[in-house]
Structure 1
Amino acid sequence: MTVDLVQHSIAVIARGQTPTGAYLASPNFAQYRYAWLRDGAFIAYGMDRAGQHRSSRAFHRWVDRTLRGVACKVEALEQKADRGEPIEMTEWLHCRYTPEGQEGDAGWGVFQLDGYGTWLWALCEHVRMTGARDLLEEVRPSVELVRRYLTRFWDRPNFDCWEEHGEHVHPATLACIYGGLRAVDALEGSQGAAEVCEAIRSYLLTHFVHGGRLTKFADGRSIDANLLWVSVPFGLLSPSDPLMEATVAELERRCVTGGVHRYPEDTYYGGGEWLILSAWLGWYYVRAGNRARALELLAWVERQADERGDMPEQVTDRANVPEMVQPWVNRWGPVAKPLLWSHAMYLILRAELGLLEQQFSGPEPGW
């Protein structure tokens, strides 16, 4: 029997959404039984693209409740910054939470700004697609809290989307912040974040452009597939900008072996090919007008689903460092599967290609 990957992806995400509205990154993988704002925002967007608006709305309400519970931390951070005092890593808003909205502690870096910008963007996309202005007003305190937080601290070094390199500022994170702040302004018809967005853009173009392309660090050499975010979906650069075209060409040369690797030096589970990034590159090519390449990447993603239709985080057949696959399996078990974000990116790419009929959700689930 052939699995309907669209229906199965929707079902996987629905099963991974807890009664509180939080999306668990991968319910079957112990280390990922948390709800990340970043992952969850893209998962909610994928569900919106598939017509599952109640699921997305439940996630945004969960974020709002969670942020209300930690709002006092932002005022304390602002006061310490005003006094010029150092801020400890644990004092920042966390990047991952339990389904009940408690700060998650998995022994990894907790200070990440990308999820907060991504949440603003995904919330605005939900409102734009559904006309749910009532939701925007309902979560307004959290929107204003996040805007304050990002406007004040956008240039602080923090961990990237892979939860690495907390000593750096990261282009992908800057793009998330830029995209989130601009999305709120666009939805409200205001220019409230125009100044800080221009500062973010200037910072990125000053520090992370070398040899006519973007770099992961300000070293003129490094590359990371998350640089795609600078263009799609956050729009700091257009897909046809020469900087983006050169960056994608370098990604194709150094990070693509069928699917897309995170970066050439990656050794996590050997540094395999990630489904979210392969779909992301397809997303970029749709926006750049190269439908044929996007369809190739869609087909690659579909081939990675198992006989049930479950999609993993990555596949390791062509890992950067094959001898590092088994040590990670010994440490944490097999690669996370299903990964909700992989299924969401599959839905997004199909939607971008015009190959996704909206599967409208059923009765209100009671969130």
Structure 2
Amino acid sequence: MIDKSKQGPTVMRNGDPAVRSIVQAGIRLILEQQTPGGAYPASPSFSAYAGYCWFRDGSYIADAMSAAGHIESAERFFDWCSNALTSRTGRIRRIVAESLAGRPVAGDQMLPTRFTLDGAEGSDDWWDFQLDGYGTWLWALAEHSARHDRPLARWAEAIDLTVDYLSVSWQRPCYDWWEESAQHVHVSTLGCIASGLASIAQSGLIEESLSERAASTAHQIRRRVQDEGVQDAHLTKWLGTDTVDASLVSLIAPMNFLSPHGPLSAGTIAVIEEQLTVDNGVHRYLADTYYGGGQWPLLSCFLGLAHAASGNRTRAHELLEWAASTAGANDELPEQVDHHLLDTDHLQPWNERWGSSASPLLWSHAMFIRLAIALGLPYDTADLTPAPTAKESAK
């Protein structure tokens, strides 16, 4: 268990202008950093992230921008995803055909989790075989369509490819959200896939046979999770274990895999609060050593979204306040902070290899925006046009 005896950082009230300032800064940052082709770089200043866009991170960023009313930004990202998929149509069709024939391709031949900003695949080694992001992009697309009454025809081919790819691949072990533990089938991954498939099937805007295939696969995944991914009335980190991971709360909200008012949601929230939350900062999982096992603002926001959806808005406000307290210069939110480290011996080696924690992290800003909007906190939408780049200013 985590030692909860230490006090965390002083928090601010979320009615404070500082919270609204962070929301505005996050929207502006995302608009400034998005490429003309639609990619959202994970972090502009962290070496391993700057030149890459993840389907996972990007989909949550697009959802936040959609919720904030920036329709064009979200749709440019969906275009980027669509182009990444349709440019690999032959590869995806081969993966599907081989899987259906009982000859699934090796993990290094599956689609990667991240792409360069122009949609190419990176040349450096990475923990690439991850499935959750492809489900998350379907979910974000369906949410956006429903939120703004937008048609899906422009992404029809990419949707078809994604449904087929996930329908034959969802049972395979792969890396999790954190690019670890590739030998397991992760419950967060399954939930993201099922949410994406179910959401796109329920849109009523795709071809009937494709919708039926997506819905059927989502139903199979739900049964698998119920049978093998639940222990002691809570979701588990992967199938067949009793440990937990903070990414699980995303399946309550915003992913809607679980009913927010059901007993499984209540049990999952309770165990994440008990095992992984200290002074409102949330760890990934108990055995985490990355950056010494720090606390992640985006995970506090995910937990806040789960609480808000289940009706505990007071707790959601507290979690948003903690995330706001981690902001640095220019209201920038980091990937994680070194409060209540789980393994202090790993912090110095991490800093020597990578430097300080990635900041700003666009995904952190996205989840802060998303929780603030879910709580109905006001923010000024005026004057959020991206500042000109140095190159543009010189013209």
Q: TM-score range by the shorter chain?
A: over 0.9
CA shift for structure 1 position 253: 1.1
In structure 1, C-alpha distance between the alignment counterparts of 2:31 and 2:254, rounded to whole Å: 24
Runs of 4+ in 1 over 6 A off after TM superposition: none
* Separation in 2, partners of 1:131, 1:86: 38
- 1:199 aligned to which of 209, 220, 225: 220
Gap runs ≥5 in structure 2: 1-16, 389-395
Residue 35 of structure 1: SS of its match in structure 2?
strand
**Equivalent of 1:300, from 316, 322, 347?**
322
- The CA distance in 1 between the partners of 2:201 and 2:289, in whole Å, is 39
SS at match of 1:48: helix
1:53 counterpart letter in structure 2: I
Secondary structure of 1:97's counterpart equals: strand
Whether 1:186 aligns to 2:208 is: no
Does residue 243 of the first structure (1) align with residue 264 of the second (2)?
yes
* Cα distance in 1 between the residues matched to 2:290 and 2:124: 16
Aligned letter for 2:237?
K
Q: Distance in 2 between matches of 1:253 and 1:235?
A: 22
How many residue pairs align between the two structures? Answer: 362
Question: C-alpha separation between the residues in 2 aligned to 1:83 and 1:218?
Answer: 25
Q: C-alpha root-mean-square deviation of aligned residues, in Å?
A: 1.9
Please, which of 257, 278, 295 is the counterpart of residue 273 of structure 1?
295
- Higher deviation after alignment, 154-163 or 215-224: 215-224
Asked if the contact 1:171–1:216 (Cα under 8 Å) also holds between the matched residues in 2, the reply is yes
Aligned match for 2:274, one of 253, 271, 278 = 253
* Residues 294, 14 of structure 1: alpha-carbon distance in 2 compared, 3 angstrom cutoff: same
Question: CA offsets per residue over residues 215-268 of structure 1, 9 Å max, x none?
Answer: 113344211001112222222221222122112111111100120000011000
Q: Which runs of 5+ in 1 are unaligned?
A: none
**Rounded Cα–Cα distance in structure 2 between residues aligned with 1:47 and 1:90:** 32
Task: Report if aligned partners of 2:56, 2:136 keep a CA contact under 8 Å in 1.
Answer: yes
Per-residue Cα deviation, 1:259-298 (whole angstroms, up to 9, x for no partner): 0000011000001110110000000010010011001001
Matches within 5 A, 1:348-359: 348-357=370-379, 359=381
Cα offset, 1:19, TM superposition: 2.0
Identify the residue that residue 8 of structure 2 maps to in structure 1: none
Asked if the contact 1:232/1:284 (under 8 Å) is kept, the reply is yes
Q: Is it true that 1:312 corresponds to 2:334 in the alignment?
A: yes
Tell me by how many angstroms 1:184 deviates: 1.0
Q: 1:280-329, CA deviations, whole angstroms, 9 ceiling, x for partnerless residues?
A: 00000100100110010011011100131000000012111112111111
Q: Could you tell me which residue of structure 1 aligns to residue 40 of structure 2?
A: 23
Whether the aligned pair in 2 keeps the contact of 1:31 and 1:106 (CA below 8 Å) is no
Letter in 2 for 1:162: W
Cα deviations across residues 18-40 of structure 1 (Å, max 9, x unaligned)?
Answer: 22110000010011121000100
For the Cα contact (< 8 Å) 2:335–2:361, is it kept in 1? yes
Cα distance in 2 for residues equivalent to 1:170 and 1:221: 12
What are the within-5 Å matches in structure 2 for residues 68-107 of structure 1? 68-107=86-125
CA contact (8 A) 1:8 1:309 kept: yes
| Equivalent in 61, 66, 79 of residue 61 of structure 1 | 79
In the other structure, the counterpart of 2:137 is 119
Shift of 1:107: 2.0
How far 1:73 moved relative to its partner? 1.1
- Alpha carbons of structure 1 residues 113 and 358: separation in structure 2 relative to 1, 3 Å: farther
Offset, 1:214:
1.6
Cα distance in 2, alignment partners of residues 182 and 79 from structure 1: 23
Rounded Cα–Cα distance in structure 2 between residues aligned with 1:242 and 1:105: 45
Matched, 1:172 2:188: yes
Equivalent position SS for 2:48 = helix
CA contact (8 A) 2:225 2:239 kept: no
TM-score by length of 2: 0.87
1:284 equivalent to 2:306? Answer yes
Q: Is 1:153 paired with 2:138?
A: no
1:328 match: 350
Distance 1:85 1:151, change over 3 A: closer
d(CA) in 2 for partners of 1:178 and 1:106?
Answer: 30
Q: Contact 2:166–2:193 (CA<8 Å) still a contact in 1? A: yes
Match of 1:234 in 2: 255
Aligned-residue offset at 1:357: 4.4
Q: Between 242-251 and 39-48, report the one with greater CA deviation.
A: 242-251
Distance 1:254 1:108 in 2: 30
Contact 2:23 2:379 in 1 (8 A): no
Matching of residues 206-217 of structure 1 within 5 Å: 206-217=227-238
| Alignment-mate amino acid for residue 98 of structure 2 | K
Q: Do the aligned partners of 1:51 and 1:359 also contact (CA within 8 Å) in 2?
A: no
